[in-house]
Amino acid sequence: MIYSLTIIICQTIIIKEIDFNLDRDDFEICWMLSGKLLVSLQGEEHELLPGDAVRFDTMLEHAYAALEESSFIIIHLPKSQIFQK
């Protein structure tokens, strides 16, 4: 079985808001490699540090802000492929 996913590898300087909205009904995974990233998800804010990860439904309101120079990986995994046998 072949899966289709989107992987975005990011390296940033300090940025107040980063938008990776691909307007698809996917699951999004953000995995921190280095730095500090603020993730806003449905009005709650979570600070991610190296080694941290977060997974959520992309249809939920979300935003990223780099609090310092950071490297992280964003993966979009289509829901339609998660539950296939």
Per-residue pLDDT tens digits for 44-66: 999 999 999 999 998 888 888 88
Look at strands 6-12 and 70-78 and give their pairing. Answer: antiparallel
Instruction: Domain 6-82: give its CATH code.
Output: 2.60.120.10
CA–CA distance, 82 with 85 (Å, rounded to integer): 9
Top pLDDT among 11 and 67 is at 67
CA–CA distance, 83 with 40 (Å, rounded to integer): 27
- Reference 58, options 77, 81, 80, 83; nearest CA is 77
Q: Write down the domain spans for the chain.
A: 6-82
pTM (predicted TM-score) = 0.74
